[in-house]
Amino acid sequence: MVEKQLTRERASSWSWILQAFTGIMLVVLLGLHMVVQHFVVTGGLRNYQQVVQYISNPFLFLLEIAFLIMVTWHALLGVRAIILDLGLNPATERKVTAFLSIVGVVVVAYGIWLSATIVAQGA
Amino acid sequence: MKLNVKIYRYKPGTEPHYDTFPVEVPETANVLDALERAWADHDMSIMFRHACHHASCGSCGLLVNDQEKLPCVTPVTDYGEGATLKIDPMRNMPVITDLAVDASVVYQRMELIGMPIIRNAETIRPDKRTILPEGLETFGRFENCLECGLCLSACPVMATDPQFLGPMTLAAAERLLAEPRGADVDRVYRLVDDEHGVWRCHSSFECTEACPYEVDPGAAIMRLKRKIGMRKLKRFFGGS
Amino acid sequence: MASDVQPKPVKRKPIEWFNLKGKRVGFWAYVGMRLSAIGLVLYLFLHLAVLSQLAVGPTAWDNFVALAKSPIFLLLDVILIIGILVHGLNGIRLSLIGFGIGVPSHKLMLWLAVILTIVFSILSALAIFSETH
């Protein structure tokens, strides 16, 4: 007689594969971000004018947004992984996934808004 | 050799505590012998499981100084003259009394995954001349599995997730998928390709460290992850 | 009757995720991964919040930058980098073994990650403290 919890409905998952993929993307993108934001301008950190100049470059704008998407996705997948280790019931787990997905969308939207605002302020 | 055994005690309705007993055993003794000495000389109400005394039945799984062991084959000389051996029941399983746990955790999972094929005779240490059976990429060690449950005790995910299949089960699944012999492969993939199947494993490898018979469930799980990952990617990109 | 005895139920104890007693290097790596993950997630949200100062204006941002160049901050930056190295290098190891690559050498990979973490932490600390002025 197999306990009820073991026979719960099972579903194929891409979460770990996405975790690994976003992680590998971050090895490159985070590395780039750290170098570009800490070691390119004299003195290391960019002042306001230097930030405006940087983010107004369309390629760099897109690169930073791509980085934000990868890091947010990886971070929230990770938070979800830790929560799932608690073995909660399927309905609760779906709510957790939905909530974290919304947080992810909000964070990326905030990043795009903020970057666009800086570009506009500097123009 | 003189030792102290510090034994976890629990009787239903009472608070758990430790009792420490001095014992004297021969140098060639194993931890189980020391435990039995404590039982015989000091307190016959100590409850613990033991049967074959030679790592064949998998009954006696315990924690010795917070590490998963089969006490029947763990020499007391591993700990030294005068050492205190803290003996606890296996983790992640309900404690019935003292060191005896409800091990249905083990049997339910094996039943769920379906018993993988067990040969009548299989080389334990394959030599270079041994030819692998068709379908096997490598000699798994699953034939060695005693269903002792030590890997389930050692696993940090088993500590918090009752739905997790666990190392032993996933290693069994990997063995079954390597050589299905008519088993329902899709059913097994559905069980393991799931958030509480293989994907809850975080590669701590404590299962491999705990296994008394070199099954190496950790490595089996990595091979299983590869199998599942490749299958998913192939299907996603239009293969089958 | 013996069959009436109810076993003591297993309680879910997340603190066990960090219990190192009797555990070995693979477990230490897993703990390092989890702790650095939690630290980095908290840092991420903090960092995104701080960046809002850019929307406030030049003075607000330049004031923050001055603060960010103080020794305490630079030290926190080094701690951040250690967290990134622990998480990233072990993450590469996990990605490899999770695709069945190099599994027999997983402990070797782990020690390599530890050595690289130490080396690059020291190099980063030197670079940060000399570059920022």
The Cα–Cα gap between B115 and B137 comes to 20
Q: How many CB pairs under 8 A join A and B?
A: 58
CB B102 within 8 A of CB C7: yes
pLDDT per position as a tens digit, A18-60: 999 999 999 999 999 998 988 888 888 899 999 999 999 999 9
> How many other CB atoms sit within 10 Å of the CB of residue A73?
21
- The DSSP secondary-structure symbol of B97 reads E
Chains that touch B (3 or more CB pairs under 8 A): A, C
CATH code, domain carrying C53: 1.20.1300
pLDDT per position as a tens digit, C50-108: 999 999 999 999 999 999 999 999 999 999 999 999 999 999 999 999 999 999 999 99
Closest-CA residue to B141 (of B164, B158, B118, B157): B118
Q: Which of B94, B160, B225 sits opposite C12 (nearest CB)?
A: B160
- Token pair in block for residue A85: 């280790």
Domain membership flag for residue C48: yes
CB B85 within 8 A of CB B65: yes
Same domain, B123 and B173: yes
* Chosen domain end from B101, B118, B147: B101
Which residues from chain A sit within 8 angstroms of residue B229, using beta carbons? 17
CB contact under 8 A, A10 and B200: no
CB contact under 8 A, A78 and C128: no
First to last CA, chain C: 78
Same domain, B65 and B133: no
CA distance C108 to chain B (A): 14
Is A116 an 8 Å CB contact of chain C? no
pLDDT per position as a tens digit, B107-156: 999 888 887 665 555 554 556 556 666 666 666 667 789 999 999 999 99
The Cα–Cα gap between A24 and C80 comes to 19
Tokens 């072990």 map to which residue?
C90
> How many domains would you assign to chain B?
2
Domain membership flag for residue C91: yes
Which residues from chain A sit within 8 angstroms of residue C68, using beta carbons? 45
Strands B2-9 and B84-88: parallel
Domain membership flag for residue C20: no
**Three-class secondary structure of residue B67 per DSSP:** strand
* Chosen domain end from B101, B125, B144: B101
Q: Which fold has domain A16-122?
A: 3 helical TM bundles of succinate and fumarate reductases (1.20.1300)
> How many other CB atoms sit within 10 Å of the CB of residue B44?
9
CA distance A89 to chain C (A): 13
Closest-CA residue to B90 (of B104, B111, B110, B109): B104
Same domain, B47 and B162: no
| ipTM of this complex prediction, to 2 decimal places | 0.92
Ramachandran category for residue B53: left, alpha or beta (phi over 0 → left; psi -120 to 50 → alpha): left
Angle between helices C25-50 and A90-122 (to 10 degrees): 40
**Does the predicted TM-score (pTM) go above 0.90?**
yes
Tokens 């897993």 map to which residue?
C30
Is A78 an 8 Å CB contact of chain C? yes
pLDDT bucket at C130, cuts 50 / 70 / 90: confident
Closest-CA residue to A103 (of A78, A122, A67, A120): A78
| Residue range of the domain that includes C55 | 25-131
| Residue range of the domain that includes B150 | 104-236
CB contact under 8 A, B195 and A85: no
Q: What percent of chain C has pLDDT over 90?
A: 85
The Cα–Cα gap between B199 and A18 comes to 12
Dihedral pair phi/psi, residue B27, rounded to 5°: -55, -30
